[in-house]
Every structure is written in C-alpha cells, then in structure tokens.
Structure 1
Amino acid sequence: MSTVWFGIGSNRDRERFVRAGISALHDAFATSDQPMYVSRVFESDAVGFSGNRFFNLVASVTTDLGVESVSAICKDIERQHGHVDGATRFSPRTLDIDILLYDDLISESPVQLPRAEILTNAFVLWPLAEISPNNRHPQTGKSFAEHWQNYRGEQVLEPLSFEFDALPHLKLIQPSTRKSLS
C-alpha cells in the first residue's frame, strides 16, 4: 500500500467544487480500513495571474493503485467537474487536483514527484505540514513541519471554517500548532 497526498484547489464556485472534489476522491479511495484525511481549507490570492481567490487544502489516502492509475483518476474527476484539459497553467479553475507526493517516489513522469510547489507555495506547504507534520520531503529530508516553520514566502493564507459533506471515511486533521503568515 502507498500513501498519496493531493493538493486540491478551486477559485470558481469554490465551496461547491472543493466539496465535489473531496467527495469524488473519497468515493475513489476511502474505505473503513483506509480513511481519507483532509487538512483545513485555506483561502489565498491567485498565484501567477489576476483572478478570484482560491480555496486550497491537502488530502491524503492510502491505495494499492500505481501512480499512473491515481493520476488518471484525478484527471477524470477534474474533467467531470469542469476542468478543461490543456487549459493555461495559470488560469481560473473549477477544480484542480495535483498529486503532491506518492510515498517517497521521486520522478518526472508520469507526474513530477514530489511537486515543486510544496516548497514554494504556502497554500500547499501549510496544509501539508498540518496533515503530515512529521513526514519528510523525499529530496530535502526535512519534515514538512520544519519546512513550514522556515517558510519565508510572502503569500497570505486565511484558514477557513469549512463544513465538509458527511462522508463515512473522512477524517479532518486539526493542527496542534500553527504558524500564521501576515
């Protein structure tokens, strides 16, 4: 079994598409023996373009599927929720699901692992540090909590109160320590 972490974001009809994405990932991966874990939801400005603010979070599942199959499921869920294949990288999104980590795999294909934005974007690193503070980045060897504590970017995030749909195998992670950016 492998553990997979997803970065999930939306800046179009954000509540609807974040809930839909979590529900679809839950249906695809979560079981009573292997629940899906989710961080808090954060709101942040768009990065790389002018647009509506994003809702972002990180989710984690355990699966026996390979990375190619997991990627295909993510792309299918995105398409089902209005994500257009081949859309400009920095543009509005109904639903964006990126595989951030697949165990400690380091690869460039079929997806870049670990995703580079783990270390550069607060909207990925903060929720990842909350959901998996003691896990280590496969290239740096530092824990995600250490990376978050040392983050020096200027992105401003706001943690939100967000109600997820009642899903039987969904576990919300509540952080014990928080560092805020202001």
Structure 2
Amino acid sequence: MSWVWFGIGSNRDREHYIKAGVKALHDAFASEQHPLYISRVFESDSVGFAGSRFYNLVACVETNRSIDAIQAACKAIEKANGHDGSATRFSPRTLDIDMLMYDAVVSDTPVQLPRAEILTNAFVLWPLAELSPTLRHPVTDRTFTEHWSNYSGEQKLEPISLVFDALPYLVIDDKN
C-alpha cells in the first residue's frame, strides 16, 4: 500500500467542481480501511494568467494502485468533469487534479513526483502542510510545516468554508 497526495483546483463553477472532484476521488479510492482525507479549501488568485479566482485543496489516500493507474484515474475524472486536456497550461479549469506525491517516490516519468509546484505555490503548500504537517518532502527532507513556515512567495490565499456532502469514507481536516 502507498500513500498518494492530490492537488485539486477549479476556477469555473468552483464549488460544484471541487465537490465533484472530491466525490470522484472518494468513489475511486476510498474504503472503510482507507478513507480519503482532505484539507480545508482555500481561495486564491489565478497563477500564470489573468483569470477568475481558484478554489484549491489537497487530498490523500492510501491505495494499492500504481502511479500509472492513479494518473489515468485522475485524467478520467478531469475529463468527466469538462476539463479540456488540450487547453494551455495556464488557463481556466473546471477541475484539475494533480498527483503531488506517491509515498517518497522521486521520478520524472510517467509524472513528475514530487511535483515541483508543492514548494512554489501557496495553494498547494499550505493545505499540504495542514493535512500532513510532519510528512517530509522526499527531496529536501524537511517537513511540509517547515516549508510552509519559511514560504516567502507573494501568493495570497485564504481558507473558505465549504460544506461537503456526507460520504462514508471522507475525513475533513478542520482542526485549523
């Protein structure tokens, strides 16, 4: 079994697609023995383009699926929720689900792990530090709490209150 962390974001019909993304990840990966954990939801400006504000959060789950299978599931969930896979990297999104980490795997293929944006984007780092505060980045060997404490980027974000539908194996981190 391996732990997998996901970054989830939307800036088009944000509440609908964030909830749909969490439900789809829950349905694809969660079980009684392996619930889906999610951080709070954060609102932030778009990065890399002028666009509507985003909702973002981080989720994690323990699974026996391979990196390739998880990546395929993420792309299928995005597509089912109107994500245009041919759109430019910095553009509006109905739903974007990125695999951030797979245990402590460091690789460039089939996907970059850990994703570089973990350390550069507040909308990934803050919820990741909340969800897994003592987890160590597999390259820097520093905890995500340490990385967040030392974050010096200019990105502004704020936690928002978003109520999720009751799902049997969903754990919301609302301790902060």
RMSD (CA atoms):
0.6
Q: Give the Cα–Cα distance (whole angstroms) in 2 for the partners of residues 66 and 57 of structure 1.
A: 23
Task: Show the counterpart of 1:11.
Answer: 11
Q: Give the Cα–Cα distance (whole angstroms) in 1 for the partners of residues 161 and 73 of structure 2.
A: 28
- Please say if residues 130 and 174 of structure 1, whose CA atoms lie closer than 8 Å, have aligned partners that are also in contact: no
Q: Give the Cα–Cα distance (whole angstroms) in 1 for the partners of residues 163 and 4 of structure 2.
A: 23
For structure 2, list consecutive stretches of 5 or more residues without a partner in the other structure.
none
Deviations 1:132-170 (A, max 9, x none): 000000000000000000000010001001101110100
Q: Give me the TM-score of the superposition, normalised by structure 1.
A: 0.96
Task: Show the counterpart of 1:128.
Answer: 128
Q: Give the Cα–Cα distance (whole angstroms) in 1 for the partners of residues 110 and 6 of structure 2.
A: 15
Deviations 1:10-68 (A, max 9, x none): 00000000000000000000000000000000000000000000000000011000000
Task: Show the counterpart of 1:46.
Answer: 46
Name the % identity.
Answer: 64
- 1:92 shift after superposition: 0.0
Deviations 1:89-146 (A, max 9, x none): 0000000000000000001011000000000000000000000000000000000000
Q: Give the Cα–Cα distance (whole angstroms) in 1 for the partners of residues 53 and 21 of structure 2.
A: 18
1:140-151 aligned at under 5 Å gives the runs: 140-151=140-151
Q: Give the Cα–Cα distance (whole angstroms) in 1 for the partners of residues 50 and 24 of structure 2.
A: 28
Moved >6 Å (runs of 4+)? none
1:1-182 aligned at under 5 Å gives the runs: 1-176=1-176
Letter in 2 for 1:110: P
- 1:174 shift after superposition: 2.4
For structure 1, list consecutive stretches of 5 or more residues without a partner in the other structure.
177-182
Q: Give me the TM-score of the superposition, normalised by structure 2.
A: 0.99
